[in-house]
Amino acid sequence: MRCLGEIAARSSSDREREQSQQRQRGDALHRQPPADARGGQPTRVRAVELMGHAKSVDRGSIRARRRVWLVLALTVFILVALLLRLHVAWERNRESPNELALHLVGDETNYDRLARELLQGSFFHWPGRVPVYPMFIAATYYALGESSPAKLLYVQACVSVMAVPLTYLLARRVLGRIPALAAAGVVAFDDLLVGHAWHMYAEILYTPLLLAALVLLLWAVQTSRPGHFAWSGASMALVTLCRPTTALIPLLLPLMLPRGWSLQQKTKASVVYGLAMMIVIAPWTYHNWRTYHRFLPLSVSVAALWQGSPEFYHLVQRNRGHLDIWANELNPERNGGHDPFTIDGDRHFTRRALQSIRADPLVYVVYSLQKGAYFWFGNPAAEWGFLAFTWWYDGPTLRETYPYSWPRLLNMGLARQLPLFALAALVYVGTRRRSQPLLPFIVVCAYFMLVHMLTWAEMRYSGPLHPLLAIFVMAAGPEIFGGRVRSQPSTGTTEGASS
């Protein structure tokens, strides 16, 4: 019995010891974080990872929603731009249904004639124009199956809409999504760009070509690869073959490249860019040599320097209009046979212009400064003139000249004030030392203005630059509302803003 009692007492003490050890192990397990069944990782760390993953998923979904809204907004701007331009083309056709070819004016007659000659197998036996726009017209006529300027206007309206997404792509190189979208919206409603659909002028094709060439240029600067500069130069050559104004752009390319680039890098990029332009333009120059037996890189200037000379200035001061001067002084039937559309006639007027400038340099300087304003706001000898400054004071005259609704007249006035808004924006951004990203666009605008200050200036020639002016205006937005748009470095040349 005593043995049984000792055994019972020992087993009881053993049970108490085991229970005590189990309690100790339980306390230790309670103090230790529970382990994940898959890998032994503490669940608290796992929970933090899951929360981070959820936040990244939320950010991804937010970005996806923003992209959707961005695409929708840009699509709306493109459709609105298309409708506005198609309406302008319809208005032009409504004035002369089925007889538009009989009512072509100015440069329209030359472009239409060159296109018809191309369809008949005659390849540019007239040095008055470069080939891209007449070839575009001829290709449109061929695709339509008829030489119909009326239908061409609708095709041009569709092509010109490309300026809206190209403006967005160009602006995104230096601005955030929202300012870039706003710049595209300005281009969609810009009356000067919408008005291109009224005419058979090269500007309607020239504008999207110029924007595409600038997009490729900034892309080449961002990657800094010679091959990309070659493609960019080739695209600018195509622009030059649409209108010769950009022929000297390679000389200004070093000014548009980043300050941090070495002289060797800038020289290499400029040489590659310029050579690519020359290679693309060379076949056209060779055609001119074979046709006229003269060295003519692009086309004649059509007495552009004479129209910007003191001699022309004095004619305008006598209240002579542009069309009147063309009908007399520039008419070969009345000026001794000097046709400004021929090589000899153009050189004759160039010599007269140089003689006039040497004889009266002060007048040439004053006239050139005036042409700086004419380039942006209109030449009173040929266009709307300075009514852009006074349209709100002279309502009856404005309504008589342009019998449109007041919203449309307001849009016209605002579009013609866009250069002033852009100048104010550049001054504001410049005072905050944030104008460096916009330097390539500033150089392009200054170059165009200088070319036309030295020669002949019309507001029509500044239209292709309005997308750049819209970018200038929107660049001031992130500076004014700094908390909404923050700047970020770009991987190429510039600093941009990201919404």
Q: Which residues, 6+ apart, have CB-to-CB distance to 57 below 8 Å?
A: none
Least confident piece of the model among 214-223, 349-358, 408-417: 408-417
Higher pLDDT, 392 or 415: 415
Number of H helices, E strands in the chain: 22, 2
pLDDT digits (tens, 9 = 90+) for 4-49: 344 444 555 555 555 565 555 555 444 545 544 444 455 555 655 5
pLDDT value, residue 259: 86
| Residues near 190 by beta carbon (within 8 Å), at least 6 away in sequence | 415, 418, 466, 470
Q: Would you say the pTM of this structure is higher than 0.75?
A: yes
Share of the chain above pLDDT 70, in %: 77
Structure tokens at 44: 């608290």
* pLDDT tens digits along 135-166: 999 999 999 998 889 899 999 999 999 999 99
Identify the weakest region by mean pLDDT among 96-110, 228-242, 391-405, 485-499.
485-499
**Domain boundaries defined on the chain:** 65-498
- Classify 498 in phi/psi space as left (phi over 0), alpha (psi -120 to 50) or beta: beta
217-269 pLDDT tens trace: 999 999 989 999 999 999 999 999 999 999 999 999 999 998 889 899 999 99
Q: What does the block give as tokens for 206?
A: 């020239």
Q: What is the dihedral angle through the alpha carbons of 222, 225, 228, 233, rounded to the nearest 10 degrees?
A: 90
The four Cα atoms 361, 366, 372, 375 give a dihedral, to 10 degrees, of: -90
Q: Work out the pLDDT band at 404, boundaries 50, 70, 90.
A: low
Alpha carbons 193 and 65: distance in angstroms, whole number: 31
Q: Angle 416-424-70 (CA atoms, 0-180°, nearest 5)?
A: 75
Q: Tell me 299's DSSP state.
A: -
Percent of the chain having pLDDT more than 90?
Answer: 54
Q: In this structure, what are the phi and psi dihedrals at residue 435, rounded to the nearest 5 degrees?
A: -90, -5
More confident site: 434 or 225: 225
d(CA 53, CA 47): 10
Task: For residue 310, count other CB atoms closer than 10 A to its CB.
Answer: 22
Closest by CA to 126, choosing from 292, 239, 242, 283, is 292
